A and B are shown apart, each in its own frame.
Chain A
Amino acid sequence: MQSGHKISSIWQNPLQTNKNNSLIEIQNLSFSYDKDLVLENLNLEVDEKDFLVLIGPNGGGKSTLMKLILGINPIQNGSIKIFNQPPHKSFTQIGYVPQNTNINTDFPIKAIEVVMMGHNSHKRPFFGYKKEEVAHATSILKQVGMEEFAHKKIGSLSGGQRQRIMIARALCANPKILLLDEPTSSIDADGQKQIYELLRELNKKITVIVVSHDLSVVLECATKVAHINKKLSFHDLSSVKKEFEINENHLCEVELIQMLGKCKC
């Protein structure tokens, strides 16, 4: 492939981009468990309506970065600012969809009750749920195409349907950012496609960050890709796609892997 030099040109230093509208700003972030350095000097910016995919090998630090963004892990070195706030103060801004949606499938709980866990208003009713909460949850369920399943037991839904419920739960607090951890790892191919379509639809309004080793996401939806293996290399995919459109008019997965691999730097 003759495009090696072009790839270096699309590798941009994220610090040089416009800071005014970035939602997440990560600077010189390092993290280690005991003495093992997991993340080394990361810099990353996420802007409004980005579709960022975090890829990388297992143990490369994807989950650690995600936990840092969510405020689960304490920040050791460097900084993360989400809307200019440290992570633990900004959880309401981020809707989180955990990796394993197959936990507790025999739990007696209705889909809409799971969704309403996403409400984190401090004005809770004396007991039960407020009418507005139910109405809001129902509208969110409609948004993810699951309103007819609102009163189904969570265990009776398929993996893909359950994933939609988890996305609805994350959307319930009206977050600006949706963060998903391996959203399609336990879903069949059809369900995966639907989830991506949903994510692309949601991406019209909010920023989406997906942690995945599934490169088909990168191809279908992503506008930015960050490869994490202790260090981070960043790719603005819109320009990559442009480059390829000029060259060959299409982009296949293999080429993309080759490209991303080459500019690991």
Chain B
Amino acid sequence: MLDALSYEFMQNALIAGILVSLISGIIGSLIVVNRMVFLAGGIAHAAYGGIGIAIFTGIPIFLGTTLFAVVAALFMAFVTLNQKDKIDTFTGLIWAVGMAIGIILVDLTPGYNVDLMSYLFGSILAVNREDLYFMASLFVIIIVVMTFWYRDILAVSYDSEYAALSGINVKFFYTLILILSALTVVIAIKVVGLILVIALLTIPIYIAQNLSSSLYSMMIISGFVASCFTIVGLWFSYSFDLTSGACIILVSALSLMIFMIFQKVK
């Protein structure tokens, strides 16, 4: 593994993996405690529509995915703010419609030859400098948001009814959480692909939830655990020439199993 680090693409992959792990630790914790895992999955799959639009119109794929995912998040915020019981229905809707738009637009693009699999299962080894800048700025934004608004986000996540009564703008923070989730999903797609995003946003978080008694410690532990999984997964991927995203997820799942057995025994 150490000699592999002399390659620039491996360095980028490692930095990207750790950045994405830290981000998904923080935002994944928010997604889990707000019970929005299915919603995040919906946004991840809807993001495929953004890939289609980007390929069809020729804009950068990262940009197309980001815009489309954020629009999907805003749509979800708009339709579910006042009717939370409709979340499942609308999540299913954006999940399927986003993918359908993507598939049709890819069909309509002449001479299309981009490797589709890399979006479904990630392409961490193809991360370039611009991707890294995007990930780093998202990380900084999330740290700033969480530092300034931790108490509001905590209140909204724990008990939104009470938060609203005490004068916190619940709609704003709900929408903010959704937008940050969309951005997180977009960068996580780069690392593990849109099909496996859910695992990255839940497995480390589940372990952390059992080890922490407050939201911020859950975020920190999740980030750390996810980073370990990513590094080990990358090592497997490099050593045995396997798809990196799938390696990371399997390492996570295996660790989760060991963790659960260990907890049962204890």
Majority secondary structure, B binding face: helix
CA distance A71 to B209 in the complex (A): 35
- Tell whether, in the assembled complex, residue A109 and residue B167 are in contact, meaning their CB atoms are under 8 Å apart: no
- Tell whether, in the assembled complex, residue A91 and residue B166 are in contact, meaning their CB atoms are under 8 Å apart: yes
Scan residues 92-118 of chain A and give those whose CB is less than 8 A from a CB of chain B: 96, 98, 103-104, 106-110, 113-114, 116-118
Q: Does B124 contact A (CB under 8 A)?
A: no
Distance between A114 CB and nearest chain B CB, rounded to angstroms: 7
- Tell whether, in the assembled complex, residue B151 and residue A124 are in contact, meaning their CB atoms are under 8 Å apart: yes
Taking residues whose C-beta sits less than 8 angstroms from the other chain, chain B's interface range is 20 to 34
Q: Does B195 contact A (CB under 8 A)?
A: no
- Within 8 Å by CB of B214, from A113, A126, A127, lies A113
Across-interface contacts of A126 in B (CB, < 8 A): 148
CA distance A153 to B218 in the complex (A): 12
Across-interface contacts of B164 in A (CB, < 8 A): 72
- Tell whether, in the assembled complex, residue A104 and residue B33 are in contact, meaning their CB atoms are under 8 Å apart: yes
- Tell whether, in the assembled complex, residue B165 and residue A109 are in contact, meaning their CB atoms are under 8 Å apart: no
Taking residues whose C-beta sits less than 8 angstroms from the other chain, chain A's interface range is 20 to 34
Q: Does A211 contact B (CB under 8 A)?
A: no
- Tell whether, in the assembled complex, residue B33 and residue A107 are in contact, meaning their CB atoms are under 8 Å apart: yes
* Stretch of B10-18, B90-98, B153-161 at the chain-chain interface: B153-161
Across-interface contacts of A151 in B (CB, < 8 A): 213
CA distance A110 to B184 in the complex (A): 27
Across-interface contacts of A96 in B (CB, < 8 A): 162, 165
Q: Does B120 contact A (CB under 8 A)?
A: no
CA distance A108 to B208 in the complex (A): 10
Scan residues 193-216 of chain B and give those whose CB is less than 8 A from a CB of chain A: 209, 212-215
CA distance A116 to B154 in the complex (A): 11
- Tell whether, in the assembled complex, residue A120 and residue B212 are in contact, meaning their CB atoms are under 8 Å apart: no
- Within 8 Å by CB of B215, from A71, A109, A118, lies A109
Scan residues 28-76 of chain A and give those whose CB is less than 8 A from a CB of chain B: 70-72
Distance between B94 CB and nearest chain A CB, rounded to angstroms: 25
- Within 8 Å by CB of A104, from B159, B217, B218, lies B159
- Within 8 Å by CB of A117, from B33, B158, B209, B218, lies B158
User: CB-defined interface of A113-137 with B at 8 Å, one 1/0 digit per residue?
Assistant: 1101110100010111100000000
- Tell whether, in the assembled complex, residue B167 and residue A108 are in contact, meaning their CB atoms are under 8 Å apart: no
Across-interface contacts of B166 in A (CB, < 8 A): 91, 117-118, 120
Across-interface contacts of A72 in B (CB, < 8 A): 164-165
Across-interface contacts of B167 in A (CB, < 8 A): 91, 120
Residue of A70, A109, A114, A118 with highest tally of chain B CB at under 10 A = A109
Q: Does B75 contact A (CB under 8 A)?
A: no
CA distance A118 to B158 in the complex (A): 13
Across-interface contacts of B159 in A (CB, < 8 A): 98, 103-104, 117
Interface residues of B (CB under 8 A from A): 33, 147-148, 150-151, 154-155, 157-159, 161-167, 209, 212-215, 217-218
**What are the 3 tightest A-B residue pairs by CB atom distance, in nearest-first order?**
A153-B213, A108-B218, A127-B147
